[in-house]
Amino acid sequence: MILVWGSVEDSPVARVIDELSAKAATFVHIDDNDLEHMSFNMTLGSPPEGWIEMKGRRMNISELKAIFLRPGNPLTARSARNAHVMLQLASVLPGVVLNRPAADLSNHSKAYQLDLISKSGFAIPPTLVTSDPVVAKKFLHRHNRLIYKSLSGVRSIIAIIDISRQDRLEEVRTGPVQLQKWIEGIDVRVHIVGEKWFACEIQSGAADYRYASVDGKAAELSNLEISTEVGRKIVRLAHYLNLPLAGVDLRRTPDDRWVCFEVNPSPGFPYYENATGQNIAGAIADYLIQDPL
Amino acid sequence: MIVILGSQYDPVAVGLAKSWADAELCTAEDLVSPGWSWQVAENDQPTWVISGNTVPDKDVTGVFVLRSAVLPDELATIHQDDRVFMSSELRAFITFLLASTRALVVNPIVNHTFGEDSLRREWWVTFAKKADVPVYRKRITHLLNARPLPGVAWKVEVVGSETFSDAPESICKRAKKTAQAADFLWGIFSFNSRRSLIDISTGKMPSHEAAKALYQILKRGKQ
């Protein structure tokens, strides 16, 4: 049995459900409303034991072979408590979990994750975390153009700082803030599902293509063939972070270097599927269906 | 210098900063003060802000972590509208800081998080299994009248390779093995009368003997 947890209003969840249905997989879908009515009796050992009952069906935990989770924000205390229990179960369940809750946490600190990316052998942009305006200005003068982005997982629009705006760096006193060298090149998003990769090139004049329309600019996405060497390197990176499902953000520089910015553990892949025709949801469904033993 | 990463409102943190020689408390106010400088994956000269002063990382031998987050209410110098955001930013910063410092960290980052948050039951049961230590199988149900944990027969404090307890040697060994499997340098391990591990905590004041041992390993730093 495969468990899909998330709202059908969330397009990645809807896509995975469609693919599992098309492949006649045995699965059950729950959302935050279902958590309100969930009952369970289990021990969270290694392995976990017991049962959970959802949508009128009682299931032995040993029946659960895989979980795909994109939980939302529970609205009641009861559903929040039950969501917490489900996250605990997702942490210890043997088999396939996309993704383990612990692995998600690396993305909650961008600088920390960037350090891990560097340790895995990928080039990263020079990055400074500081609350010292003098140090920040020296960093700007060394690199001429910087990106400011938030340190935490709280989504934010990035800002560009160049020499003409260096006075803004006085504001870092109440920091610490994250400053990164602007890297010239083409944005590439690579989705990893197990050993497979799906690469997409994004052409945009905006500093952050996700918000290109805010800047009055367009973002054009297209399928990209990458070499096996680069593909495998990105797969190794995702596995190093224990993320069999990941959306990896890179930039390919004019001198053909690959610089990695971030590994997203809950990628919003439909945006890229729509533009390229890539079937990432199909790959996810296949990964969930596989027999882990 | 030993850095105690904690709150000025936490009597444990304040008490240790007073009783340990060459130890200073790094508070929420320090975290949002000018003077921090850390580059990612670079062999540079990073700096802390501790008790209002800028301190090079090379002068810090040990960091004792006594928080899992920075609460918005601690950020009195930050505009009220920005406190929740800054609280998230500081949690992210502390994760990066603890992973990057050359000082010995007690306890280090586990599963990309720190403090009591790194002691989630669903994680430490796997560490205990790795150490071949039996764990009390706590039953959880949807019913709100949850069964309480069994009585604690023994508590063992582990500090590095030492244990502090009147428990039998075999229990102390189990605590030490679990700590090593989890990369914990300090913790209080509770066992029931069947010698199964019930709980692990770092939320209490170390005992006098454990505090002395903690001081020594934090002073010595990384070997």
State whether residue A134 is helix, strand or coil: helix
> What per-residue confidence (pLDDT) applies to A208?
72
Mean pLDDT of A27-50: 91
Of A76, A85, A142, A151, which to mutate for an interface test with B (greatest number of B Cβ within 10 Å)? A151
Burial of residue A186, with CB atoms counted within 10 A of its CB: 0-12 exposed, 13-18 middle, 19 or more buried: middle
Q: Which residues of A touch B126 (CB under 8 A)?
A: 46, 92
- Would the pLDDT of A11 be above 60? yes
For residue B184, give Cα distances in angstroms to A40, A271, B23, B157, B176: 32, 42, 21, 11, 9
Q: In this predicted structure, which of A118-127, B15-24, B72-81, B140-149 has the lowest mean pLDDT? A: B140-149
Taking alpha carbons only, the member of B211, B204, B194 closest to residue B154 is B194
pLDDT band at A292 (very low <50, low <70, confident <90, very high): low
The pTM score is 0.95
CB contact under 8 A, B138 and A43: yes
| Burial call B35-47: b when 16+ CB within 10 Å, e when fewer | bbbbbbbeeeebb
Q: Enumerate residues 113 to 142 of chain B having a beta carbon within 8 A of any beta carbon in chain A.
A: 113, 120-123, 125-126, 129, 135, 137-142
The structure tokens listed for B173 are 């060994």
How many CB atoms lie under 10 A from the CB of residue B169? Answer: 9
> What per-residue confidence (pLDDT) applies to B145?
65
Distance CA A285, CA A208 (A): 30
CB contact under 8 A, A43 and B88: no
> What per-residue confidence (pLDDT) applies to B112?
96
Q: Enumerate residues 24 to 43 of chain B having a beta carbon within 8 A of any beta carbon in chain A.
A: 31-42
pLDDT band at A214 (very low <50, low <70, confident <90, very high): low
The dihedrals phi and psi of B94, each to the nearest 5 degrees, come to -60, -40
CB contact under 8 A, B35 and A43: no
State whether residue A202 is helix, strand or coil: strand
Percent of chain B scored above 70 by pLDDT? Answer: 98
Residue type for position A50? G
**Mean pLDDT score across all residues of chain B:** 94
Chain position carrying tokens 């009195």:
B76
Query: Angle of helix B121-130 relative to helix B169-182, nearest 10 degrees?
Result: 110
**Mean pLDDT score across all residues of chain A:** 93
Distance CA B200, CA B136 (A): 12
The dihedrals phi and psi of B150, each to the nearest 5 degrees, come to -65, 165
Taking alpha carbons only, the member of A115, A214, A98 closest to residue A156 is A214
The structure tokens listed for B6 are 């904690």
Mean pLDDT of B24-45: 95
| Interchain CB contacts (distance < 8 Å): A and B | 150
Q: Within a 13 Å sphere around the CA of B156, how many CA atoms are in the beta-carbon half?
A: 26
Q: Which residues of B touch A174 (CB under 8 A)?
A: 32, 77-78
Residue type for position B6? G
> What per-residue confidence (pLDDT) applies to B63?
98
CB contact under 8 A, A129 and B123: no
CB contact under 8 A, A102 and B112: yes
Q: What is the pLDDT of residues A14-26, one digit of tens each?
A: 999 999 999 999 9
Chain position carrying tokens 């910063």:
B93
- Would the pLDDT of B115 be above 90? yes
Mean pLDDT of A44-57: 89
Locate the chain A residue with the closest alpha carbon to B49: A131
Burial of residue A205, with CB atoms counted within 10 A of its CB: 0-12 exposed, 13-18 middle, 19 or more buried: exposed
pLDDT band at A46 (very low <50, low <70, confident <90, very high): confident
Burial of residue B180, with CB atoms counted within 10 A of its CB: 0-12 exposed, 13-18 middle, 19 or more buried: middle
- Would the pLDDT of B47 be above 80? yes
Of A152, A173, A242, which to mutate for an interface test with B (greatest number of B Cβ within 10 Å)? A152
The structure tokens listed for B113 are 């998080």
Q: Give A24's contacts (C-beta < 8 A, 6+ positions apart).
A: none
Of B87, B113, B122, which to mutate for an interface test with A (greatest number of A Cβ within 10 Å)? B122
Sheet holding B23-26, edge to edge: B23-26, B2-5, B62-65, B104-106
- Would the pLDDT of A291 be above 70? no
Q: What is the pLDDT of residues B184-221, one digit of tens each?
A: 999 999 999 999 999 999 978 899 999 999 999 999 99
Mean pLDDT of B2-8: 96
On whether the CB atoms of residues A99 and A288 are closer than 8 A, the answer is no
On whether the CB atoms of residues A139 and A172 are closer than 8 A, the answer is no
Output DSSP code: residue A197.
E
Q: Which residues of A touch B89 (CB under 8 A)?
A: 150-152, 154, 176
Distance in Å, alpha carbon of B137 to nearest chain A alpha carbon: 6
For residue A282, give Cα distances in angstroms to A18, A190, A264, A279, B148: 9, 16, 19, 5, 45
> What per-residue confidence (pLDDT) applies to A228?
97
CB contact under 8 A, B34 and A114: no
| Burial call A17-31: b when 16+ CB within 10 Å, e when fewer | bebbeeeebebbbbb
Distance CA A14, CA A220 (A): 24
> What per-residue confidence (pLDDT) applies to A56?
87
CB contact under 8 A, B113 and A105: yes
The structure tokens listed for A255 are 């001198």
- Would the pLDDT of A234 be above 90? yes
pLDDT band at A44 (very low <50, low <70, confident <90, very high): confident
Q: Enumerate residues 40 to 99 of chain B having a beta carbon within 8 A of any beta carbon in chain A.
A: 40-42, 47, 49, 77-78, 85, 88-89, 91-93, 95-96, 99
Of B44, B105, B140, which to mutate for an interface test with A (greatest number of A Cβ within 10 Å)? B140
Locate the chain B residue with the closest alpha carbon to A126: B40
Report DSSP letters for A142-163, one per residue.
Answer: HHSEEEEE-SBSS----EEEEG
> What per-residue confidence (pLDDT) applies to B142?
87
CB contact under 8 A, A111 and B126: no
Distance CA B164, CA B213 (A): 10
**B96: nearest CB among A41, A111, A150:** A111
Output DSSP code: residue B113.
B
Chain position carrying tokens 């590439």:
A188
Mean pLDDT of A65-94: 93
Please count the residues of chain B: 223
